[in-house]
């Protein structure tokens, strides 16, 4: 019997806790190259929080990376997400950009609920 190499349909990793430390571990497992961006954005969020006396920047940071991990845990969703991002940023067709933006929103909604 021949064994097929199937594309995983489930998540690559479980959804982590919604904390910077847990998200950093998840980002490292999903895309080690993204860790530099993660660390830089965390530093910027903390500096902004300190300078403005507000917790809004770290909270926004956690929400952003929570969404990113939610999508990136599913390789097929991530591929579709990146393709839609490309369409939104490069297409001259307004209808195509709107359709891609709608798909992006739905992927974020589905991933946040998972």
pLDDT tens digits for range 47-80: 999 999 999 999 999 999 999 999 999 999 999 9
User: How is the chain split into domains, by residue range?
Assistant: 17-25+32-72, 74-114
Give tens-digit pLDDT for 83-93: 999 999 999 99
pLDDT at 104 over 80: yes
- Angle 99-95-78 from CA coordinates, rounded to 5°: 30
- CB neighbour list of residue 71: distance below 8 Å, 6 or more residues apart: 77, 78, 81, 107, 108, 111
What is the Cα–Cα distance from 79 to 5, expressed in whole angstroms?
Answer: 18
Its pTM stands at 0.82
Matching residue, tokens 């770290």: 58
Mean pLDDT of the chain, nearest integer: 92
pLDDT attached to residue 109: 87
Does the pLDDT value for residue 4 go beyond 90? no
């Amino acid at each position: 019997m021949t064994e097929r190499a199937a594309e995983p349909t489930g998540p690559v990793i479980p959804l982590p806790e919604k904390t910077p430390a847990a998200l950093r571990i998840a980002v490292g497992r999903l895309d080690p190259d993204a860790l530099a961006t993660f660390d830089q954005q965390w530093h910027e969020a903390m500096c902004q929080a300190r300078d403005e006396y507000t917790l809004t920047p770290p909270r926004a940071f956690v929400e952003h990376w929570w969404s990113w991990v939610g999508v990136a845990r599913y390789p097929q969703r991530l591929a579709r997400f990146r393709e839609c991002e490309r369409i939104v940023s490069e297409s001259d067709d307004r209808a195509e950009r709107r359709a891609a933006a709608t798909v992006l929103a739905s992927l974020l909604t589905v991933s946040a609920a998972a």
